[in-house]
């Protein structure tokens, strides 16, 4: 079989589906991630002599592909947030980051240690990689394109949380990597705190602010005969994503954090300008194309046995993480915020896990050796699949019900 032409046909079908599927599943208790995972499983089940979709054997490829998906998604996420940045206006976001995220990390790590018998470093890694919510697979519960004025508290909280916690999971992941590589706690804690917690976070934040403001000025205010924002060239979003991420990583900062912050800085310029929608659309379309490839590979990995090391213990850890730990941590973090009970429950429940978890696990396994790598992949893949199916089915009816309740409370215009 001519594998080159087979690959072209598959890529063409995937690209076409990425354009059509979101329209077909809109308004239904179904999501395009669910469809693409299923299609990936079907394709890899056919006698096509395809390479095995083994995330351990192809860890470097999985790391780089998922990394690219996440940074493009972070740019798109930041560009669609209409609400100005602030401590008071983003109160629910700070609560989720300061309480729900660390509680989930610790609780999931303890589950991995207690039920699966993981070594402390491995348990710490499990908690870190499943902690970030996903800016890629959570589109059904996030705000719409910029300027659409649909930023209710549920959509805003879930969008802003996903934009920030993908970067904030790095210190915890790096702690697990350091612990796995060191003989004792005293050998790594001090340096880890200084470098991975303080320096890299500060550099990531500073680079995001500086580069975002610079890009915003180039797009909207650079003194040329025709401003860039008057064109329809949305590839500036991709250029900015790669520039911010690359420069920040070279400066030893967290690129994920910098990209999201830079996107928010760009969005803060000329908020009413139509070019924001052009930028967001380009980032969203690119993200969707890359995402379907990764989701299809996830489906293929299921067929090729990524869940073989799950066992009953791994299934219990996954179910408890998605159905118990995140919802409880979310509810606790949002206590006394003034959010309506139904909205608070929805925010706590829709902690979608996805591409970010895949990236962090692939990254950690490329950086250090964890003996329980097959079990880690099985548990993380199970959590992502569970989240894709459960949240994909429930997102539309839950959000529609909340919208109806909100409209009833507000009364007729």
Q: Is the pLDDT of residue 232 over 70?
A: no
Total domains, the chain: 1
Residues spanned by the domain of 50: 3-410
| Dihedral sign, Cα of residue 50, residue 51, residue 56, residue 61 | negative
pLDDT of residue 382: 97
pLDDT band at 172 (very low <50, low <70, confident <90, very high): very high
* Nearest alpha-carbon partner for 172 in 364, 367, 329, 383: 364
Q: Is the pLDDT of residue 283 over 70?
A: yes
pLDDT band at 396 (very low <50, low <70, confident <90, very high): confident
Phi and psi based region of residue 49 (left: phi greater than 0; alpha: psi -120 to 50; beta: remaining): left
Distance CA 7, CA 266 (A): 37
Tell me how far the alpha carbon of residue 11 is from its chain's centroid. 23
Counting beta carbons within 10 angstroms of the beta carbon of residue 13, is it exposed (0 to 12), middle (13 to 18) or buried (19 or more)?
Answer: middle
Written as six digits, the tokens of 409 are 């409370």
pLDDT of residue 49: 80
Q: Is the pLDDT of residue 236 over 80?
A: yes
R_g of the chain computed on alpha carbons: 21
Top-confidence residue, 198 or 396: 198
First to last CA, the chain: 63
What is the helix, strand, coil percentage profile of the chain, to 5? 75, 0, 25
Q: Is the pLDDT of residue 223 over 80?
A: no
- Helix ranges (H only) for 80-221 are 91-95, 101-115, 120-130, 153-168, 170-181, 189-192, 200-220
| Per-position DSSP letters for 301-319, written without gaps between them | HHHTTTTTT-HHHHHHHHH
Question: What are the C-alpha distances in Å from 407 to residues 26, 153, 155?
Answer: 21, 14, 15
pTM, rounded to two decimals: 0.92
| Per-position DSSP letters for 184-223, written without gaps between them | SGGGTHHHHIIIIIIIHHHHHHHHHHHHHHHHHHHHHT--
pLDDT band at 4 (very low <50, low <70, confident <90, very high): confident
Residue 273: CATH number of its domain: 1.20.1530.20
The mean pLDDT value for 274-296 works out to 87
Q: For residue 309, what are the contacts with CB-CB under 8 A and spacing of at least 6?
A: 374, 375, 377, 378
Counting beta carbons within 10 angstroms of the beta carbon of residue 12, is it exposed (0 to 12), middle (13 to 18) or buried (19 or more)?
Answer: exposed
pLDDT of residue 77: 92
pLDDT band at 1 (very low <50, low <70, confident <90, very high): low
Written as six digits, the tokens of 344 are 């608070």
User: Which tens digit of pLDDT belongs to each residue from 320-365?
Assistant: 999 999 999 999 999 888 888 899 999 999 988 889 999 999 999 9
């Amino acid at each position: 079989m001519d594998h080159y032409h087979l690959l072209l046909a598959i890529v063409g079908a995937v690209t076409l589906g990425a354009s059509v599927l979101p329209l077909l599943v809109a308004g239904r208790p179904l999501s395009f991630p669910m469809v693409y995972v299923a299609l990936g499983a079907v394709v890899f089940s056919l006698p096509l002599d395809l390479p095995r979709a083994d995330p351990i054997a192809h860890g470097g490829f999985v790391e780089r592909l998922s990394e690219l998906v996440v940074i493009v998604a972070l740019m798109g996420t930041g560009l669609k947030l209409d609400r100005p940045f602030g401590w008071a206006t983003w109160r629910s976001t700070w609560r989720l980051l300061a309480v729900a995220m660390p509680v989930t990390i610790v609780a999931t790590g303890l589950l991995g240690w207690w039920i699966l018998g993981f070594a402390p470093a491995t348990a710490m890694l499990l908690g870190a990689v499943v902690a970030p919510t996903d800016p890629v697979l959570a589109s059904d519960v996030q705000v719409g394109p910029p300027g659409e004025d649909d930023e209710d508290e549920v959509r805003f909280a879930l969008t802003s949380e996903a934009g920030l916690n993908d970067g904030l999971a790095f210190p915890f992941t790096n702690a697990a990597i350091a612990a796995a590589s060191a003989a004792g706690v005293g050998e790594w804690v001090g340096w880890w705190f200084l470098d991975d917690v303080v320096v890299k976070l500060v550099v990531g934040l500073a680079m995001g602010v500086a580069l975002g403001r610079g890009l915003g000025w180039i797009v909207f205010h650079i003194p040329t005969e025709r401003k860039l924002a008057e064109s329809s060239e949305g590839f500036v979003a991709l250029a900015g994503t790669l520039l911010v991420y690359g420069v920040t990583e070279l400066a030893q900062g967290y690129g994920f954090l910098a990209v999201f912050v830079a996107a928010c800085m760009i969005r803060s310029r000329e908020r009413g300008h139509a070019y924001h929608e052009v930028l967001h659309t380009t980032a969203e379309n690119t993200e969707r194309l890359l995402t379907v490839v990764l989701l299809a590979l996830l489906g293929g990995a299921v067929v090729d046995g990524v869940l073989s090391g799950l066992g009953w213990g791994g299934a219990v850890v996954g179910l408890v993480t998605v159905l118990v730990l995140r919802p409880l941590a979310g509810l606790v973090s949002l206590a006394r915020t003034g959010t309506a009970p139904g909205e608070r429950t929805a925010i706590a429940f829709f902690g979608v896990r996805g591409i970010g978890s895949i990236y962090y696990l692939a990254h950690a396994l490329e950086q250090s050796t964890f003996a329980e790598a097959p079990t880690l992949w099985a548990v993380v893949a199970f959590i992502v699949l569970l989240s894709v199916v459960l949240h994909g089915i429930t997102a539309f009816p839950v959000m529609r019900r909340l919208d109806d309740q909100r409209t009833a409370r507000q009364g007729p215009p």
